[in-house]
Structure 1
Amino acid sequence: MSENNSVQMFEDHSQFGKVEISPEVIEIIAGIAASEIDGVGMLRGNFASGVAERLGRKSSHGKGVKVDLGDNGLKIEVYVITNYGVAIPEVCKKIQENIVQTLKNMTAIHVLSVDVHVVGVHFEEKNESDSTKKDQEV
């Protein structure tokens, strides 16, 4: 992992100074890009990120995203729960493509890899009120 915990945008320093991006910002961008894909139920973080989110110390948009700053670029891991009935390989490929494209457009950072971990499947819950309405209409 990088020692300074931020990504420098340009190697040459201009007269205006330098631009650095925090890994937390990259996590948020990647999290939003992943959640935009149809078939993604939600992102899944670990216990520590859930506690930090409840205490207000971390945004929910970066939950389920881990960024590793390397010398050559970024390695990103995304933990998702997909919706029931979707083609998981297609959804994962779309997640990877959207994250890479979004980070390229917004930050011009080279992404080495985007690893998508499917940790669950979300089933839609039927509401009892919906089923009783249908029974009453018939």
Structure 2
Amino acid sequence: MNENHILELEEQKSELGKVEISPEVIEVIAGIAASEVDGVATMRGNFATGVAEKLGRKNHGKGVKVELAEDGITVDVSVVITYGVAVPEVATLIQSNIKQALQTMTAIELQAINVHVVGVQFESAEPVDQDEA
């Protein structure tokens, strides 16, 4: 596998070998952690993830992008929030939930968790993108 696509946990190296975690695994963990936060209506993916979901394939990493750099990992999360919630509070909860989940499950140190609110969902309505409003 290409070294750019796999994150090696140096602290997990031992005489038994090394542990490698794919960025896709990080995306799934972060996506599930973000969607657990009250006030998050849905995660926002791209066109391909929308088509895959319509075909019955669940994508838990939807709306999450992971960038690996020498100085750490940056996670970008795109969410649609529920109308009426305090956006800064929900964004802070998303960041802390993702940080906690990734540290507990992978022991990975994060450089940044960026939350992008891309829409608002009203009760019994479709999400409204800022571009459409």
- The TM-score by the shorter chain falls in which range? 0.7 to 0.9
Structure 2: gaps (5+ residues): 126-133
More helix as a share of residues: 1
User: SS at 1:18's partner residue?
Assistant: strand
What is the distance in 2 between the residues matched to 1:112 and 1:69?
Answer: 10
Are the aligned partners of 2:99 and 2:110 in contact in 1 as well (CA < 8 Å)? yes
TM-score, scaled relative to structure 2: 0.84
Matches within 5 A, 1:57-72: 59-72=58-71
Deviation, 1:73, is 1.3
Deviation, 1:45, is 0.3
Structure 1: gaps (5+ residues): 127-138
Corresponding position of 1:10: 10
More strand as a share of residues: 2
Task: Name the amino acid aligned to 1:60.
Answer: N
TM-score, scaled relative to structure 1: 0.81
Q: How big is each residue's C-alpha offset from its partner over 1:39-76, in whole Å with a ceiling of 9 and x where there is no partner?
A: 000100011232344557x7421000000011121100
Deviation, 1:14, is 1.9
Higher CA-based Rg: 1
CA RMSD of aligned residues (A): 2.0
User: SS at 1:96's partner residue?
Assistant: helix
Q: State the percentage of identical aligned residues.
A: 59
Q: Which runs of 4+ in 1 moved over 4 A?
A: 52-56
Task: Name the amino acid aligned to 1:4.
Answer: N
What is the distance in 2 between the residues matched to 1:70 and 1:23?
Answer: 12
Deviation, 1:8, is 0.7
Corresponding position of 1:91: 90
Task: Name the amino acid aligned to 2:88.
Answer: P
Corresponding position of 1:75: 74
Corresponding position of 1:108: 107
What is the distance in 2 between the residues matched to 1:74 and 1:54?
Answer: 31
Matches within 5 A, 1:115-126: 115-125=114-124
Corresponding position of 1:39: 39
Q: How big is each residue's C-alpha offset from its partner over 1:62-97, in whole Å with a ceiling of 9 and x where there is no partner?
A: 000000011121100000000011001100011011
Change (3 A) 1:47 1:90: same
